[in-house]
Amino acid sequence: MNKIKVGFFSFTEITDPREHHGYNEWHQLDHMPEQFPLPGIAFGQRWVSTPACRAARAVSGPQLDPIHYVTLYLMTEPVEQTLRDFFALGRHLHEVGRFHQHRRALLSGPFRLVDAAVAPRVLVSAEAVPYRPNRGLYVQVGGTVSLEAWCANPGVAGAWAFADDDRQITVAWLDGAPLDVAGSLGSSAGDVDFAGPFETIVPWEWDWFE
């Protein structure tokens, strides 16, 4: 039984191109660490759509085309209390001036976990995949995906599917180079709004857009 019940996503655009360094410094060194003391936050990570990743997108619909980053927090029961604590902390940090102003979330919110799979070559369980070191993600918003088919591709360690009432978000954790893996995944069946790779963010190495 997976202790994770919800993935909270934020697909984020930086609205001032001069603010990427400031945004990364704030989010990685201030904002994200403050989330982990909350009892229901099991894990979290953020990834970047570098210019090369952007060029490798299979689908980039109008809603999510401007995004530069995706963040995913993994949440446990009790989900409603976890979400209340999460939003309350966000309000508090905003009130005390610890919130980045040059950002816009183009898709943000909780999506329930509906399925998980792991590549046969990977020794950890499907439930453990997000905690394993990764080189990036491949993300599809909308449509449907065979997690097992994704996990059969070299460079894919595992994949999880999340959904709300409107759409599914499928995430593959990569231990291969994201640009090398992206071509073998593409986009799957259905009404897909976005499909593309992201790179893992290394602290203090935030110069992709300079």
Report domain extents, the chain. Answer: 4-200
Whether the predicted pLDDT of 189 surpasses 70: no
Distance CA 32, CA 90 (A): 11
Give me the percent of the chain exceeding a pLDDT of 70: 99
Residue bearing tokens 């009404």: 191
Task: Tell the burial category of 19 from Cβ atoms under 10 Å away from its Cβ (0-12, 13-18, 19+).
Answer: middle
- The predicted-structure confidence for 12-57, as pLDDT tens digits, reads as follows 999 999 999 999 999 999 999 999 999 999 999 999 999 999 999 9
Selection from 208, 198, 191 nearest residue 61 by Cα: 191
Confidence of residue 58 (pLDDT cuts 50, 70, 90): very high
Residue type, 98: R
Q: What pLDDT digit, counting tens, does each position of 138-162 carry?
A: 999 999 999 999 999 999 999 999 9
Per DSSP, the three-state class of 105 is strand
SS3 state at 148: helix
Domain 4-200 CATH (choose: 3.40.50.300, 3.40.50.10140, 3.20.20.150, 3.30.70.100): 3.30.70.100
Task: Label residue 187 by pLDDT band (50, 70, 90).
Answer: confident
For the whole model, what pTM was predicted?
0.96
pLDDT above 90 (res 1): no
Q: How far is CA 92 from CA 46, 75, 86, 96, 165, in A?
A: 21, 20, 10, 6, 29
Q: What is the pLDDT of residue 190?
A: 76
